Amino acid sequence: MSNVDSNSVITLVDDLIAATPIPEEGLGHYTVLTHPDARVVVLAFSDGHLLKEHAAPFPVLMQALTGELLVRAGGEETRLIPGMLLRLDAMLRHEVQAVSASRLMLTLITR
């Protein structure tokens, strides 16, 4: 992976999957890019892992890279699979549960 901390006009993260192994149990947390405008984090969920209800201080874009996840927010449950994109407002309480071993890419819009 290159340019994890970047202030350049172009940033390349060359292999998100290889850089974010899924643990046998629990949750892996990997910051894959930090920039003044955004921070990108990949959460690697073991099968069935639940990330309990919490809120992010910034708007968040969620994309499943692998696997299948359930996102519960705003009184709704969304099944998130690769190819889908979900946006949450800042401070919206939510929880995420892995239906299968999964990687979830979060883009926090920091500016």
Least confident of 11-15, 30-34, 53-57, 105-109: 11-15
Contact 105, 87 (CB under 8 A): no
Spans of all domains in the chain: 27-109
pLDDT in tens, 38-66: 999 999 999 999 999 999 999 999 999 99
The pTM of the full predicted model, rounded to 2 decimals, is 0.93
Contact 111, 39 (CB under 8 A): no
Which homologous superfamily does the CATH classification assign to the domain defined by 27-109? Jelly Rolls (2.60.120.10)
